[in-house]
Amino acid sequence: MHDETDYDRQYGLESFSTSELTREAGYIMDICRRHGLPAGAPVLEIGCGTGRISIGLALQPGMGHLLITDPSPAFCGIVQRKLSGLTVAAERVDFGILQAEDVNMLPAGSVSMILLRSVLHHIADVDGFLRACAAVLPTGGLFVCEEPYYDGYMMMGFLGQFIEDALTGSGYICTQEDQHRINHFISTMQFYSRRDIDKSQAEDKHLFRPDELMATGREFGLELTHYPNWRMTMSPEGNERARAGYFQRFFAEYVRYCMDWPEDFSKRVAEATRKYFRFFEPLETGGNTTPACFGTFVFTKR
Ligand SMILES: C[S@@+](CC[C@H](N)C(=O)[O-])C[C@H]1O[C@@H](n2cnc3c(N)ncnc32)[C@H](O)[C@@H]1O
């Protein structure tokens, strides 16, 4: 639905530092190693996009055969271009045009880990896909993804309804364009949270509840551990530090980057709604984080 070559601009990823990407992918691999992934194991990445994690994975010491895939030839080309000229540390790197739904074309046991970041919510039949991944993975193999949680997004939509009042209260009168933006955001969050409509033509289809994923995974022999509000590309200390004020920042970044709101309007909204987020301050003690917005899911094939 969007021009692939504009993706890095929208998310502010036009320039990248290879050392930063390597460090980020190192945190991903730390989680995977903790869950039993051996060094040198073959890894399949589905939905590489512009390579935000692929580059660091390819540069990762101890990385085995890495198969980087996306259904978009344009995205694969962008990652290939970014990788050309870099000395990869992986045993071997290959590219493939792959729709997640076709993962069953891979021979059983051919990859030890299937990795997806921000991709599972685009796949129409999540249960069917998980079943197919479970069939490809060997015992002990991992399915790792970072995905949106239902609660946080549903709460963002609910909060969206107060944005205009909050702006009026701060002395700013919304233009028609502002009102359109706000309403678009509210209906986007509601659409995303709904489960009673056909989303086959929608880009973002699902928001996840760990209780449901746990039950689905169990059916296919996949045991789930999940880490709410935990970025797999961040250090454990960074993730711990990010717990305070998580929801407020997540909301501010979502409207700025995912909804592509202009910077000045995004700032104005963040300022006018600040007081509502104080509700969460006393809830964030003792390492608690709520509501869960985005996090890491690790399934182990038993
Ligand atoms: C939000 S981007 C994430 C890109 C990258 N993983 C990252 O973390 O920056 C979503 C990616 O999923 C891919 N995608 C969408 N539907 C897919 C599907 N059915 N199967 C595989 N990939 C899909 C898109 O082409 C896009 O590259």
Render pLDDT for 125-162 as a digit per residue (tens, 0 to 9).
Answer: 999 999 999 999 999 999 999 999 999 999 999 999 99
For 174, phi then psi, to 5°, come to -65, 140
Q: Provide the whole-model pTM.
A: 0.95
* Cα 208 to ligand 1 centroid, rounded to whole Å: 16
In tens, the pLDDT along 201-244 reads 999 999 999 999 999 999 999 999 999 999 999 999 999 999 99
Ranges of each domain in the chain: 4-148+198-241+294-301, 151-194+243-287
Asked if the model's pLDDT at residue 6 lies above 90, the reply is no
Q: Is the minimum distance from the CB of 181 to ligand 1 under 6 angstroms?
A: no
* Cα 21 to ligand 1 centroid, rounded to whole Å: 18
Which pLDDT does position 203 carry in this prediction?
92
Determine the longest span between alpha carbons in the chain, in angstroms.
Answer: 62
User: Could you tell me the sign of the dihedral formed by the alpha carbons of 184, 190, 192, 196, in that order?
Assistant: negative
Report the DSSP beta bridge partners of residue 296. 146, 227
Asked if the model's pLDDT at residue 299 lies above 80, the reply is yes
Give me the chain's average pLDDT, please: 96
Give me 55's structure tokens: 């580059």
Asked if the model's pLDDT at residue 252 lies above 80, the reply is yes
CA distance 27 to 22: 9
Contact 84, 112 (CB under 8 A): no
Report the DSSP beta bridge partners of residue 68. 45, 95
Given this structure, which CATH class describes domain 4-148+198-241+294-301?
A: alpha beta
Q: Is the minimum distance from the CB of 64 to ligand 1 under 6 angstroms?
A: no
* Cα 157 to ligand 1 centroid, rounded to whole Å: 23
Give me 126's structure tokens: 């999540």
Q: Is the minimum distance from the CB of 46 to ligand 1 under 6 angstroms?
A: yes
Contact 293, 152 (CB under 8 A): yes
What are the CA-CA distances from residue 187 to residues 158, 246, 262 (Å)?
10, 23, 19
Give me 264's structure tokens: 């000045």
Cα–Cα–Cα angle for 97, 210, 126, rounded to 5 degrees: 30
In tens, the pLDDT along 72-110 reads 999 999 999 999 989 999 999 999 999 999 999 999 999
Which pLDDT does position 13 carry in this prediction?
78
> Per-residue confidence at 10, pLDDT binned at 50, 70, 90?
confident
Q: Which residues of 132-152 are buried (b: 16+ CB within 10 A; e: fewer)?
A: bbbebbeeebbbbbbbbbbbb
* Cα 45 to ligand 1 centroid, rounded to whole Å: 10
Q: Which residues of 67-82 are buried (b: 16+ CB within 10 A; e: fewer)?
A: bbbbbbeebbebbeeb
